[in-house]
Amino acid sequence: MTASASPALASHAAIEDAAVLIRKAERAVVLTGAGISTPSGIPDFRSEGSGLWAHDEPMEVASLHTFRTFPERFFNWFQPLAGQIFNAQPNAAHVALTEFERAGHVRTVITQNIDGLHQKAGSQNVVEVHGTLRTLSCTNCFKQYEAAHFLAPYIATGKIPQCLNCNGILKPDVILFGEQLPQSAWYEAERAARQCDLMVVAGSSLEVLPVARLPMLALDRGAHLIIINNTPTYLNVRADVIIMDDVATTLPKIAKRVFHG
């Protein structure tokens, strides 16, 4: 079964096919990317013209090397993005995934995003494979803090967050270029992908490794695959359902079909 829809409007058939797969699944996993957060006002990184990397060289502003040698450069670049993330609110797509989880249709949300919007929407089992902006860690004594207390003055004034224990610089617990993925989160993501009977890719172009390989782990174990994204992915040829549309409009439509027929 392969259903597809135009970029302008997800077809009734594709929505229905996705709803059927979600209703039947016993171990569904959702993999989300930047496309689920852009409707909440958070820019993505790779879109031509509008993505963050259209204006900045990532290795110069968002690498671990830059953070260690010239942290001021990282914090100057990150300040406006941190403000957008800090003030963002979940959209209808995040809410739909929370509803799926509460109803037992989705076991795990694996996200490439650092914004914490899944948790704000109420999702409980979220695996953040690229880290999170919800916490900061001291680069000197390694003490970890909740980010909210430090982010507000940083966003307002540019003041670099400092440890209350030793005055060391606090690094957001996000994964920078040249930095390893958090091991426990990655193992959990791999395990969820291997054990699922359905994977839903929502708002990810599947271009960033190693996360882009997770759907293949699911497919190799016989899982079904739904892809909801504005642009094609390398796995469209393997998907049961393809919906090339905005996830913030598509997921609520699927949720309506799942819960109300």
Catalytic residue among 94, 105, 130, 224: 130
How far is CA 260 from each of CA 20, 33, 109, 154, rounded to the nearest angstrom?
12, 27, 23, 45
Instruction: Looking at 103-236, list the stretches that DSSP marks H as alpha helix, in order from N- to C-terminal side.
Output: 117-121, 148-157, 183-195, 214-220
Closest CA to 202 of 228, 230, 169, 223: 228
**The residue to which tokens 């439509």 are assigned:** 253
How far is CA 234 from each of CA 48, 215, 239, rounded to the nearest angstrom?
18, 11, 10
> Is 65 annotated in the active site?
no
**The residue to which tokens 């800090």 are assigned:** 86
Given the DSSP bridges, would you call strands 170-174 and 198-202 parallel, antiparallel or unpaired?
Answer: unpaired
Rounded to 5°, angle at Cα 209 from 87 and 22: 70
d(CA 1, CA 10) in angstroms, rounded, equals 16
Closest CA to 93 of 206, 175, 177, 204: 204
d(CA 69, CA 28) in angstroms, rounded, equals 42
d(CA 29, CA 26) in angstroms, rounded, equals 10
**Cβ pair 32, 109 in contact under 8 A:** yes
Residues designated as active site: 130
